[in-house]
Structure 1
Amino acid sequence: MKMRSIFRISLLLLPILFQLATAAPPVTKPGCQNRCGNISIPYPFGTAQDCYANEMFKIVCRETANESAPRAFISMINMEVLNITDGAAIVNGPIMSSNCSDRQSNLPALNLTGSPFFFSFGNVFTAVGCNVRALLTGIGRQVVGCDSTCSADSNQKTLLYGQEINSLCADGNCCVARAPYRMQVFQPSLDTKNGSEDSSGCKLAFLTDETNFSFLNITNPQALQGWRSVPLVLAWMMDYSIWRYDKSTMDCKYFLYESSVSNVSGYECSCSNGYEGNPYLGCTDINECKDPNRHSCLGITKCVNTLGSYKCEVNKYWIVPILVVVIAGILSLLAGISWLYKLAKKRKNIELKRKFFKRNGGLLLQQQLSSNHGSVQKTKIFTSKELETATDRFNENRILGQGGQGTVYKGMLEDGRIVAVKRSTIVGEEKLEEFINEVVILSQINHRNVVKLFGCCLETEVPLLVYEFISNGNLFQYLHNFYQNEDFILSWEMRLQIAIEVAGALSYLHSAASIPIYHRDIKSANILLDDKYRAKVSDFGSSRSMAIDQTHLTTNVQGTFGYLDPEYFQSSQFTDKSDVYSFGVVLVELLSGKKPIISSTSQETRSLATHFIVLMEENRLFDILDVQVKEDCLEEEIMAVANLAKRCLNVSRKHRPTMKEVSAELERIGLLHRKSIVQQNEEDTNEKSTMVERLCNWDAVPISATCDFDNARSVQSTVAEPLITYNTL
């Protein structure tokens, strides 16, 4: 009685367990009864006309007096239904018996032939009893069955078909075999094994669902005496003609089973992944987004349902905050990187400036300037940023000129001063020494005819000098027609004044400065002209400050060809007389308007100084004079300057005058020139009605004639003899 109660409870729990295991609730046709007691009735089953697919799927609900709930039966095969799922129905299957006192032996076979139902592959064929040989008959030539034993000795158990599953009968008195697939006839034979002593015992055989086999206690056949049925799984297949197949929403398989006993064919269908419902009525899409357990969209993403599936998209309400956060993060990152880069660059620039300052001789320059009686206070040390701003980052359009020692840029300081910034092109140790010399020398000089140094910069890779801007270029450009301006003529008076000013500046450098300074590169290109055409001596890169009566011995000759002292070129000894020689060449340039190196028609070159000396000795000064000089016709002054130039160009430096003597002589010539102009103005005032007769009598010579320099007296250069005889005023 106890075992029977357990079995009945198990049968009552089976529908509930199967309902919980079902993936989707059954679906019936609209308006049709969907339940019979506790059993759901899905299509193709139904309880009324037009609610089932055909008569084979008709369900009959039967009321019983002893039970409150009606019971469902498949009308065609008259089997009670315990549960219906997709493609399977669990029914109460019969228990076949032999030689059992309270059971009817030789029950008729369970034959499903002609129906869409067949025994599912999930069933197992089970025999109960001692020394029983159970076989399935009515299945053609197949041999399916098993032998049971009277003990748990597995060696005495025999498997006649299929996979060994005798583990279900571990305690003996039973055996289990896998039932053939799509079998429609269940007709077992129960016999005693050959030679068995026990042939009169009770024998049972049945088909049951393997998944529910654990509910049964069949180790003792007597315990099953009260059982009339066991759970049996029936499968079915649908005829294609009675329903519509939609391959986009359902998965269907066609089966054809042929045997000597029956032929079974049809479709088994289920809804595809992402769809639910009854496949024989139509599958509907599952909205996974309504069930958090069906999708994996978390955080800022939202679930978007699609046919048969879903996708995760960024929630639009999060887009703006995300963009703000991302952009803010990127900007913060970029700002941090930029700040770190600027900080690293700033530190690098500071270290680089220190390196350049030291390499460019900053310590040496500070020492030199500090030892020159406070001159360092007159020289400003500019920062690289100041000069970059002043020159528009050294724009090519600001270039004033280029030379062997560097490039000069025009700039404007913050206080509005126009300056010239000299940027050295070579930073070798030799050129660096020249740069230091130029700074030190210019810091000591305070003369109106020497370019004024404002300061320097040592923080850059190449040293920079800042000095006053001279607006009108250099003398070389005016003498040799670099400026094609017919309105401006470099008259003799202007040439004489330039010579006087340059000579005064050099005399100051040689004599009046605290320490004698030798320029070492006097030439017309280094004589600048300001807005009033006053001369300014520039480019002191090669200069040297020397002790009195000291010469400078160099290993490399420095200067410009055409201006070099021949003795310095041969001996490498530079003295104050070397500057005198170079100034003599400039005087000849002022007289002749020719370059220091003359190119002849035969492509040969010769020195202007040598050519001038030859013409002076041959009394042919007229042949070399510039047209503008000849037109002014100041014969006495021109002869005096020419003789002075001849003395400056003496091959022997001891026969050359000093710059102090040259400056004094030019001052005298300038005084003579001014007196002649005053006298000329007085004669013009007294003789208003007549033409003033010029120094040369133009009526007495041919029209093409000019001043007669051929008969002019050639003054021999001596140190003691004065160049010009002046009348006492």
Structure 2
Amino acid sequence: MFSDTLNVFTGIGCDTSAQVINKDRTYGAACLSICTENVSLLENNPCSGSGCCQTSIPRGLKSLNISTSSYNNHANVSDFNPCGFAFLVDRSSLKLSDWPLSRKPKYGNDAYATDVVIEWVVKNETCEKANKTSAYACGSNANCTDSENQGYRCLCEKGFEGNPYLQDGCQDKDECKDPGKNPCEEGTCENVIGDYKCRCPLGKYGDGKTGCKGPGIVTIIAAVGASIFLVVICLLLYMICTKRKKEKNFQENGGKFLKNQRVRIFSEAELVKATNNYADDRKLGEGSFGSVYKGVLTDNTVVAVKKSKGVDKAQMNAEFQKEMSIVSQVNHKNVVKLLGLCLETKVPLLVYEFISNGTLSKHIHDKGSRILVSWTNRLRVASEAALALDYLHSLADPPVIHGDVKSVNILLDNNHTAKVADFGASVLMSPGQTDISATKIQGTLGYLDPEYLMTGILTVQSDVYSFGVVLVELLTGEMPNSISKSGEKRNVIQHFISALENNHLFKILDFQTADEDDMDEIEAVAELAKRCLNSMGVNRPAMKEVSDELAKLKALHQKSLAQQNSEETDYLLDESSQSFCENASHLMNQSQTVISLQMENYTNSN
């Protein structure tokens, strides 16, 4: 039968209708090809009806009758296409370039021929069904395979050859018979029924089909000894190269200078061990230039290791030198402390103190956290963060612009004390300098100063704006550009200012334990945040003013709490004293009554 998958019915011409039917006229198909000008039939022509057309044949076709016809007898195209052709052809052998439209027909022995794929199969049964009948055609040592069309085929098993349709047609194939085609890689070929073996020469072992091993014990010992020697040499060379590489990195990263500074120098091996080779479960966070991992030193000190990403070494070294120059001179209780460095890597590693309670952002937005439930803690955290930024702007020498103030970069330690972290975007200011022209904008959208975004000039007031966003986040519990309950994006800053100006501040507060007495403080912080968020930097308060105002509010709040606790204590003491007096008076009255009755009884008895 004709293969329906490998053959295709094809028509060639510009006024051609190609038809094919089977002998019983139970199947018919046709395709039409029309064109008004000469078409070049290239190999990639889709044969979609212009110059040529194609259609498939059904599965199981055993006979066919092909014919062609023309609608206008090629009258309009005879100059370049005198006639049309139709034929069945093997898809893989068809070359359309061999069938130009100008081709004329030939007859008899000179007629054009095409390759056709014919599948030879037995009956219209599957192997499973045929194997159960006496008419099963496959002989011994033959395998049956189902045809994709109909019926089945027989093939000799591996190691046998011959006619699989005869009872004993598949005979053992002697692979060793032809010395020129010896299948053995090494050794002597030995034929067995349906297979062969390759015996290795004396003194060798293994599978001779792929090769034999081992010439003798002496050679083996010599080879092993040489291998061990080479391994030892390679290990020594590797250790020497690694040591020199680490020494080179140490020197290039300023190790000679830093060795004399009051900073601990860690080895690469120490930090690899401490972080469990920078395992994913040790990762604390990820920033623009690197990732931070939790590490445990041999003395059980927990640290945070900042490891750079695999980017340009020159750029990363510049960022490292900048961050190191900043954090190495900063010493403040509300700024994360640098414990040491590792200079043996291409880009040095920074080792910071580990802050156990994570980021301020986590505690604001994780509804399961209880640290920021009260206004007292929120006010204290805001005051401590402002104190750190004021220190960087006013007291650090030289002054520092943080450049990426956000709730993620404010950490809380065991005592919930705020500590400002991540100086990757920070810059140092020279004496008398008030701003920095940035080569590229760094920071986090939503917290970035709009003036900095427009001008590319970074100032201390840029930190003030970002801190104002953090204050709004502390008050409302919402991230900048957060999603509203309706699913729409909204500007949290504008929403906050609108609520403040329309006296709806209490509706957008995030915490639950604020008393009515706290509302004055909350409104004062909200007004301070509004001033920090002024679109013009010159109209924003200095960080020192922000810090001082928050410190005053914090002191007033603590005084109010102390006074409230004192009043509650006095009230409880008064209640206790009054209860004691009432009980004592009642007991005295009872005692007097008893004495009076006893005296009366005594008098009557006399």
Q: TM-score range by the shorter chain?
A: 0.5 to 0.7
Q: Answer yes or no: is 1:452 the counterpart of 2:343.
A: no
Aligned to 1:567: 451
Alignment partner of 1:546 is 2:439: no
> 1:427, 1:462 within 8 Å by CA — same for their partners in 2?
no
Compared with structure 1, are the counterparts of its residues 490 and 463 closer, same or farther at alpha carbon in structure 2 (3 Å cutoff)? farther
- Any conservation in 2 of the 1:402–1:408 contact (CA below 8 Å)? yes
With the length of structure 1 as denominator, give the TM-score of the two structures.
0.47
**What's 2:178 paired with?**
none
Residue of structure 1 aligned with 2:233, choices 340, 351, 361? 340
* Maintained 8 Å contact 1:577/1:653: yes
Alignment of 1:54-69 (within 5 A): none
- Choose the corresponding residue for 1:434, options 316, 319, 341: 319
Secondary structure of 1:484's counterpart equals coil
Q: 2 CA distance for matches of 1:313 and 1:530? A: 73
- Give the Cα separation in 2 of the matches to 1:312 and 1:332: 24
SS in 1 for 2:567: helix
Whether the 8 Å CA contact 2:283–2:293 is kept in 1: the answer is: yes
Q: Give the whole-Å Cα distance in 1 for the aligned partners of 2:226 and 2:543.
A: 69
The answer for unaligned runs of 5 or more in structure 2 is: 1-200, 205-215, 576-606
Corresponding residue number in structure 2 for 1:403: 287
Q: Report how far residue 334 of structure 1 moved.
A: 3.4
Aligned to 1:712: none
User: How far off is 1:523 after superposition?
Assistant: 0.3
Aligned partners of 2:364 and 2:372 also within 8 Å: no
Q: Specify whether residues 633 and 597 from structure 1 end up closer, same or farther in structure 2 by C-alpha distance, changes over 3 A only.
A: farther
Residue 253 (structure 2) aligned to one of 351, 356, 362: 362
Q: Greater Rg, structure 1 or structure 2?
A: 1
- Report % sequence identity: 46
Contact 2:305 2:352 in 1 (8 A): yes
Q: CA deviation at 1:585?
A: 0.8
Preserved contact between residue 591 and residue 629 of structure 1 (Cα < 8 Å): no
Q: Does 1:474 align with 2:474?
A: no
Partner of 1:181: none
Shift of residue 496, structure 1, vs aligned partner: 1.0
Cα offset for 1:689?
8.2
2:277 aligned residue (362, 379, 393):
393
Structure-2 change in CA distance of 1:535 and 1:337 (3 Å): same
Structure 1 620/432 Cα, relative in aligned 2: closer, same or farther at 3 Å?
Answer: farther
Deviations 1:680-705 (CA, angstroms, capped at 9, x unpaired): 011101222899xxxxxxxxxxxxxx
Aligned length: 362
Question: Would you say the 8 A contact 2:434–2:460 is kept in 1?
Answer: no
Q: Deviation string for 1:463-502 (max 9, x for gaps)? A: 3211111111100011011x635x6553211111111111
Distance, in Å, in 2 between the alignment partners of 1:582 and 1:489 is 20
Amino acid at match of 2:332: H
Instruction: Give the secondary-structure state (helix, strand or coil) at the position aligned to 1:408.
Output: strand
Residue 490 to residue 456, structure 1, CA distance change in 2 (3 Å): farther
1:382 maps to 2:257 = no
Amino acid paired to 1:335: I
Matching residue of 2:553: 669
Secondary structure at the counterpart of residue 449 of structure 1: coil
Match of 1:711 in 2: none
For residues 339 and 598 of structure 1, do their structure 2 counterparts lie closer, same or farther at Cα, with a shift above 3 Å needed? same
TM-aligned CA distance change 1:677 to 1:631, over 3 Å: closer
SS in 2 for 1:688: helix
* Residue matched to 1:490: 373
Counterpart for residue 417 of structure 2: 534
Partner SS for 2:482: strand
Q: 1:478–1:490: 8 Å Cα contact kept in structure 2?
A: no
| 4+ runs deviating over 6 angstroms | 311-314
Instruction: Using structure 2 for the length normalisation, give the TM-score.
Output: 0.56
479, 484, 488: which one pairs with 1:600?
484
Q: CA contact under 8 A between 2:372 and 2:511: conserved in structure 1?
A: no
SS in 2 for 1:641: helix
Aligned equivalents of 1:535, 1:313: Cα separation in 2 = 77
C-alpha distance in 1, partners of 2:558/2:570?
A: 19
For residues 84-143 of structure 1, what are the alpha-carbon distances to aligned partners after superposition, in whole Å with 9 as ceiling and x for unaligned? Answer: xxxxxxxxxxxxxxxxxxxxxxxxxxxxxxxxxxxxxxxxxxxxxxxxxxxxxxxxxxxx
Counterpart CA distance in 1 for 2:467 and 2:339 is 26
CA contact 1:499–1:587 (8 Å) conserved in 2:
yes
Relative to structure 1, is the Cα distance of residues 331 and 492 closer, same or farther in structure 2, using a 3 angstrom cutoff? farther
The 5-angstrom pairing of residues 225-244 of structure 1 reads: none
Contact 1:526 1:538 survives alignment (8 Å):
yes
Q: Which residue of 2 aligns with 1:514?
A: 397
Distance in 2 separating the partners of 1:686 and 1:312: 107
